[in-house]
Amino acid sequence: MDEPLATEPYKGVRDFYPADWAKLQWIFTRLRETLALWGYEEYNASPLERAELYEAKTSEEIVNEQTYTFVDRGERRVTLRPEMTPTLARMVAAKRRELALPLRWFSLPNVFRYERPQRGRLREHYQLNVDLVGLPEGEADLETVQLAHALMQAFGADDASFVIKINSRPLLNAACRAAGLEDDKIQDYLRFLDRNEKISREEFLTATGTLSSQDPLSIIDTPDDHRDVATEKAKVLEHVARLKTAGVTNAVFAPHVTRGFDYYTGMVFEVFDTDPSNARSLFGGGRFDGLVALFGGEPVPAIGFGMGDVTLMDFLEAHGLVPDHVASTTQLYLGTPAPEDIPAAEAFAATLRKEGLRVFVNLTERALGDQIKDALKRSIHLFAAYGKDEVASGSLRVKVLATSTESTVTTAELIRLVRAER
């Protein structure tokens, strides 16, 4: 090796140094705790999946342009999962007879997309996936939105800081049919809506050759002549009303919300930041009753949502909901006056660890003053030197670094002090 190796990670992915990882784990822990309160269980799978899994129902754009797909040495086509829902459907289908439905399942996988490099778009991110599998439209949809709401509340977000936009694919489909859109154009129209009006309605209708159509959204607005549309609209409005009654005060009906994936069949919802400077989609989901049946057998209804770590962290930071720093979990820095004291210090640390204390032992030849500086740099609160004097006396001087207060303690007192400190 003549040329030194580059230290950067691969393009578009992140290195998680301990402070970065602790921040992500702070998010994960809060999510896991809240999901446990709702009876949810965690599952996982490999990021490697057979490529065909995504060719059925994930959006075409994602499969053709945004996946990492390669051929392995056994000529199998492999894809790094771009999303978790197809894996969930596969796993449910594989054990449908053994699993006790309904399933309340969540996962915290990393997912991969081959994105063009642009601001804030990563090629790998973590995505909470929450799914309620085995129940038809109705209570399950309402509980799922309530859970999404509870997750935001668990981070301290108040209802004014975000809005939950609710819509329905059957409503959109009925409105599109009422507007004269042919079935094969409906999906195109939904994708147009999902792109959030980057092109005008006229441009879209011209492009799809349905210029003469009415605007499906204006039919939803006043559906009087269209019974199907009126029925589906009434259903969504009732869902929104019930959510408000259940305490989800920021649920609103939003007829333009579609969600990107082709596999949604019922309610869809999307959570937005209400801050005008960050008025973006935070996360969302919907009902996908047809996905499990792609693996054969009877359909299994399901509803779920996905929440990316980067978007969530941006929201939490924008709203001041992230603690200043996640402190070191190490409780005591055990200094060593001289290198020959290390074996005794390690033996003493072993005693403390048996009591559940988290102890860092200095192994360098630094002077004690520099060891104290090192403890401060590591945000460890307590410092005590341990050498032959301490072995002889059976007591130590322990220093609270934040206040520089010192006291002489026995081992038993030290253990109590460390436990009381945090």
Pick 101 or 211: Cβ nearer its own copies: 101
Sign of CA dihedral 311, 315, 318, 322: negative
Per CB under 8 A, which of residues 335..374 are in contact with its own copies? 339, 342-343, 346-347, 350, 353, 356-361, 363-364, 374
The single residue among 85, 129, 146, 167 that binds its own copies, judged by CB under 8 A, is: 146
Pick 90 or 177: Cβ nearer its own copies: 90
The single residue among 26, 62, 124, 260 that binds its own copies, judged by CB under 8 A, is: 124
Pick 173 or 362: Cβ nearer its own copies: 362
Burial class (CB in 10 A: 0-12, 13-18, 19+), 233: buried
Per CB under 8 A, which of residues 175..204 are in contact with its own copies? none
Based on the shown chain and the rule CB under 8 A, indicate whether residue 378 belongs to the binding site for its own copies: yes
For residue 384, give the 3-state DSSP assignment: strand
Q: Please choose, from the candidates 272, 309, 354, the residue with its C-alpha nearest in 3D space to the C-alpha of residue 107.
A: 309
Pick 316 or 357: Cβ nearer its own copies: 357
Q: Give the separation between CA 24 and CA 41, rounded to whole angstroms.
A: 20
Task: Please count the residues of this chain forming the interface with its own copies, following the rule CB under 8 A.
Answer: 94
Per CB under 8 A, which of residues 318..337 are in contact with its own copies? 328-330
Per CB under 8 A, which of residues 232..251 are in contact with its own copies? 242, 245-247
Sign of CA dihedral 37, 38, 43, 48: negative
Burial class (CB in 10 A: 0-12, 13-18, 19+), 240: buried
Based on the shown chain and the rule CB under 8 A, indicate whether residue 70 belongs to the binding site for its own copies: yes
Binding segment (CB under 8 A) for its own copies, from list 134-142, 174-182, 384-392, 413-421: 134-142
The single residue among 26, 28, 30, 102 that binds its own copies, judged by CB under 8 A, is: 102
CA dist 264 to 48, 128, 186, 335, Å?
A: 24, 18, 13, 60
Neighbours of 12 (CB within 10 A): 17
Q: How far is CA 148 from the centre of its chain?
A: 11
| Least Å from the CB of residue 410 to its own copies | 21
